[in-house]
Each structure stands twice: as C-alpha cells, then as structure tokens.
Amino acid sequence: MKDNKIKILKSFQDTDFSSLKMRRGFEINSLNYLIGNGYINLDTPVIESADLFFRKSLGSTSGNTYTFTDPQNQHVSLRPDFTASIMRYAFSNSKKIENNVSKYCYSGPVFRFENNNEPNQLYQIGAEYISEKKHGYESEVILDAIKCLQINNINEFKINLGNVGIARNYLDKLGLNNSLVEFFLTNLKLFNLKNYEEELLSKAKFQNLIKSGKKTKSLSKDEIKEKFSIELQSNLGLRSQDEVVDRYFNKLSNQVFESEFNESIIKLKELLNIKLENINKNNFENELNFEEFKKLIDSLLESGIQKNNICIDFSLTRNLAYYDGVVFDLIYKNELIGGGGKYDDLPKMLGYKSDYSCFGFAINISKLTDVYKNE
C-alpha cells in the first residue's frame, strides 16, 4: 500500500521542547545584553525583494536563496540573513543614524539552501554597527559577539581572525591581474590542503587562467593584429576585427604563465603563514590595514581574551562580495557557530550613498543549541 503521509521537507527539522527552551534562553540572554549595551532591537520582514540579497552577494549566493514570484508578481526571497535588511532599514532614512553611530540587534529565522547536510532553516541572533569611524571600533563589536557566548556559559570558544582587505592588497602588490586576484581570494582555503599547489593549478587551468607554452613577452593589440592578420580576414562571424582582437587581448591579459602562477603561490603562502606568535616578525609593518589589524588583536588581548582563544587565518574571507576588511569566525567544540566582519561597501551595493563603516556578526543559535546539548 502506497504511503501517502505528508512528511517534513528534506533539510528541515522540528525543534523539541528542551531544544526550544535552551534556544530561547540563549536568545533572551544575548538580546538583553546587546540592548543593555546600546543596541536597538529590530525585526525585519522574512520576505524581501530578491534584488536586496542578489545585490548584497553580487549574485554569488543567489543559488542558495529561496527565491520565487509571489501572487502580486513580485520577485521575492526568504531572507538568507538579516544584514542586508538592517542596512536597508538604516539607510532608507538617514535620520535613523543618529550621532554618526547606529547599533542594531536582531533575532529570528533565516533560510538558505545548503548542500552540506545542514538544516536549511536556522535561527540567528546578531548585531550590526554603523559608524563614521573607519577603524577602532571593530574590537568592540567582536567583544559583544564573544560576550553573547560568555553570558550563556560558553567560554571554550575559538576566534579565527582574518582580513579580506589585507589579502586583496597583498595580491594587488604582487602585480596580479583582477582575474587572478579574485581566483586566489576565492580559493584561499585550498592552501590548507597537502597538495594545494596541484589543486590550485588544476583549478586555474580549468578556468582558463594559465597561458600555454614558455614565458614570452605579452602581445599588444597591434601585435595581435599583425600576428593573426590572415585569420582576421575571415571567419569573424558577426563580430568586427577590432572586437575579435579586443576579446583575444582581454583573454591573454587575464592569463599568466605557469611559472608566474607558481611564484604567486609561494608569495601568497608567506602571508598565510603569519600566525599570532609571529605577527610582529614579518614584512608588512608599513601596511596601514595591517597596523590596524595588529591594534585589533592587541585590543582583544587587553580585554582579557586569551592568546590560545585567537587564531590568525588570512585564508578566511567568508563571502567575498560582502566583506572587505576584518572577518572572523566563532568556533565552539570544533563547530562553526557564528562570525562576521566589516562590509563598508554594502550600503553602496544596495543603492545608498554612504561614507559610513559597517561591521556586524551573527550567531547560529540553532547550531549552538545542538552542539551544547551534545556535550
């Protein structure tokens, strides 16, 4: 006999009473702390314009977002996080940013289509900090995230710290083209593999970023026209000769020879080898962002965070289209339970004029509850 019982959707789960009680305890304790520390509690719609989240990620996470057309023929999405919605709220009326600082906190469900056996609905608490200051307040926000753990008797945490801006600046100074910079930023985690050189090279070849043959002088557009003069007389399709040359020139400009690629890997590894114990023994002292990064670490240590709770990880970039400065992950019992970072350009991505600096965090209290219960 056919089973016609309606069952729960794949990748979703019910929450029993004991888990719900624990989750609500984490939520209430955290929100009470944040509100008491000057954050304004805010809720935003579960459903927003799909463009809000598409712009935030520049399309990079659109495949992970529940998006559909509603009965009013609006293209909408279930929120995958709160940050973009909070930014929309804050910057849609500049009066909401008072005294050049605004602090918001939130809690609620978010929805993401995941392929890693994680639930597609999770419950978050978090905060967003908007300031006219460009640096100096990041440690305050990170410490607020840590305090949300500590007031819930979670003290055995790790914080992984990185900086997307430093990684990007370093790659730019290596003289890499934009395609290679984005490639390395997207694949920094591959450096944690034993055979990272082979993995990176294989992926770069697949993406057509490696020139074939031995290293030679790059061709100018005029030299391309001269070299392929016969081929350019025919088989151009609907494109003009200049369009074909431009396309070929751009392709060559986005490629490097294998030897150059391998040299870049060696140089990039120098940055990734920086750890807390050798942070003052490197060649980056003249980098403004690096100096600010060291000040951030000093501030965390001075606040009482132990050295063994902090790990420097420049392979940490989180969502590249989203973050542009300091980023961090919160680890509990070897599980990722939250994180955040700096995203100064996000308001502009959403169409707002802004000279403000933005920094935030979110804690997955659904995950935190599961890990805590299984201790």
Check residue 310 and give its pLDDT: 94
Tokens of 201: 């090279």
**Domain limits of the chain?**
11-156+343-375, 178-272
Q: pLDDT tens for residues 21-38?
A: 999 999 999 999 999 999
Q: pLDDT tens for residues 196-216?
A: 999 999 998 888 888 775 544
- Asked whether the whole model's pTM tops 0.75, one would answer yes
Per-residue pLDDT, averaged over 177-191, amounts to 88
Q: pLDDT tens for residues 65-87?
A: 899 999 999 999 999 999 999 99
Check residue 98 and give its pLDDT: 63
372 within 8 A of 22, measured Cβ to Cβ? yes
- In the chain, the percentage of residues whose pLDDT exceeds 70 is 82
340 within 8 A of 362, measured Cβ to Cβ? yes
Task: Provide DSSP, 145-157.
Answer: HHHHHHTTT---E
SS3 328: strand
Strands 157-163 and 310-312: parallel
With a cut of 90, say whether residue 236 has pLDDT above it. Answer: no
CA dihedral angle for residue 14, residue 20, residue 22, residue 28, rounded to 10 degrees: 130
SS3 17: helix
Grade residue 248 by pLDDT with cuts at 50, 70 and 90: very low
Half-sphere exposure of 321 (CA within 13 A, CB side): 13
Check residue 50 and give its pLDDT: 92
CATH of 11-156+343-375, one of 1.10.3720.10, 1.10.340.30, 2.40.100.10, 3.30.930.10: 3.30.930.10
More confident residue, 294 or 145: 145
